[in-house]
Amino acid sequence: MDVLNFINGKYVPAQSGQWLDNFAPATGRLSGRIADSDETDVDMAFQAAKAAFPEWSAMSLDQRHDILRAVADGILARLDDLAHAESADSGKTITTARTVDIPRAALNFKFFATALLHFASESHHTPGSLSYTLRQPIGVVGCISPWNLPLYLFTWKIAPALAVGNCVIGKPSEVTPLTAMMLGEICQSAGMPPGVLNIVHGLGPKVGAAIVEHPGIKAISFTGSTRAGAEIARTAAPMFKKISLELGGKNPNLIFADCDYDTMLETSVRSSFNNQGQICLCGSRIYVEKSLYPKFKKDFVERVKEIRQGDPSDPENRLGAVVSKLHFDKVLSYIELARQEGGVVLTGGHALEMPGDLSGGWYIAPTVIEGLSTNCRTNQEEIFGPVVTIQPFEDEADALQNANNSPYGLSATLWTNNLQRAHRMAAELQAGIVWINTWMLRDLRTPFGGVKNSGMGREGGWDALRFFSETKNVSLELGGEEL
């Protein structure tokens, strides 16, 4: 299958005529070609978006709402097609794609379609003056997204950008482009005018960089690695573009002996390995209170060994393949590093041999490692795969010290039934999101994002709508007769 750009309402190849290979992680085989776009394609997309902007930004809120709601419905109407494409392209299980990725992509459109109707601004009065704030669309904006939750994270940016009245140039990951391509025709069928959403495919340092460098694209919303985020900031900052950067993570999962044990255990298995550990919010550093550590270690390893892994298209499987050969090699090299650093592999620690058609696929057994210090590379660097470390802690201060000893600060999970301790620690944890006795609980109205090397800016709710709008203050003196 050829993955084409979607520009001005039409599917077109890259102007250069060049292609990239696309692979299926489940089998390791070639599955198609992807348009290998460059700055020429970005400029074509920009011209289309610029031409579409006056009509889209001036459209009544009701009309824009109706189109974005119709996109949400269009995604749900094709749930099965999209879920199959997402699973085939990324190696995630069909169950994850069907129950998480695609419904959530629809929800992103539904949520921001409604939010735009309620987006209001402030006014400030004094006895003699009035100031009010306008929040206007920026114009043409760029949305660049990663491979781990392809359509889910792509729409998380595109929906609020469009809701405010901007036109968008979107770039999905070159590793998982299929569902983004399908989104083009869904938007068109929903009545979105040509040029409002344009999607260009290809390599990050080539077409992604061209979006960031384009002088007409005034805001960049990026989700991906800390390394690419830093490059984007280097280019965009001197051009005074608005940037929102959602970057890597190395999240702590802190478990106290007084927690609800069964819920904690079941959730910790999920928070470690869901989507093969390829969720930026996965808790990859597990710290357990010393008195509970032996029991936790035994039960956790037992539960991890029971996880059913294999063909991503089998709805019974809970784990599939990792996303690419490059990533497969990277994750295995970190397991090797962990061994060199003195880590003891309690389960997993190797690639999985699969039968038949799947024998060339990229499967890694869920891996639990103990015996490492917080300072070692395995615990400081993002692996982003099915690998967690476990480590005991002494007390609250020790737990906090370990949790915060990281260059990252995306999320943290805390398991305790001590209410005071929970809130005390939530305030001290260096993270943009803290979950207490739960994981991945998401309310789309809440701010989403990280601190330290996990990025800058917040997505979600009003934060996203504010990011994608330009703020203007209008002030006037009220005048009038002296009484």
Active site residues: 246, 280
Q: Is 213 in the site for ligand NAD (CB under 6 A)?
A: no
Among residues 35 and 410, whose Cβ is nearest to ligand NAD?
410
The binding track of 116-145 with respect to ligand NAD, each residue x by CB under 6 A or -, is ----------------------------xx
Residues 376, 341 contacting (CB under 8 angstroms):
yes
Q: Is 168 in the site for ligand NAD (CB under 6 A)?
A: no
- Compute the distance between CA of residue 92 and CA of residue 176 in angstroms, rounded to an integer: 11
Q: Is 248 in the site for ligand NAD (CB under 6 A)?
A: yes
Closest listed residue to residue 99, CA positions, set 275, 362, 281, 335? 275
- Compute the distance between CA of residue 282 and CA of residue 385 in angstroms, rounded to an integer: 9
Q: Is 212 in the site for ligand NAD (CB under 6 A)?
A: yes
**Which tokens in the block code for residue 418?**
């001590």
**Which tokens in the block code for residue 139?**
């114009």
- Name residues whose C-beta falls within 8 Å of residue 347's C-beta, 6 or more positions apart in sequence: 301, 304, 305, 365, 366, 367, 368
Q: Is 174 in the site for ligand NAD (CB under 6 A)?
A: yes
- C-beta of 469: minimal distance to ligand NAD in Å? 21
Among residues 236 and 399, whose Cβ is nearest to ligand NAD?
236
Give rounded-to-5 percent helix, strand, coil for the chain: 45, 25, 35
How do 455-456 and 123-126 pair as beta strands?
unpaired
- C-beta of 20: minimal distance to ligand NAD in Å? 11
- Name residues whose C-beta falls within 8 Å of residue 361's C-beta, 6 or more positions apart in sequence: 24, 25, 26, 27, 28, 91, 321, 354
Q: Is 42 in the site for ligand NAD (CB under 6 A)?
A: no
Q: Is 384 in the site for ligand NAD (CB under 6 A)?
A: yes
- C-beta of 289: minimal distance to ligand NAD in Å? 27
Q: Is 170 in the site for ligand NAD (CB under 6 A)?
A: no
* b/e map 3-15, b = 16+ CB within 10 Å: bbbbbbbeebbbb
The binding track of 437-456 with respect to ligand NAD, each residue x by CB under 6 A or -, is -------------x---xx-
Q: Is 275 in the site for ligand NAD (CB under 6 A)?
A: no
Q: Is 380 in the site for ligand NAD (CB under 6 A)?
A: no
Binding site for ligand NAD (CB under 6 A): 144-148, 153, 171, 173-174, 204-205, 208-209, 212, 223-225, 228, 231-232, 246-249, 280, 382, 384, 410, 450, 454-455
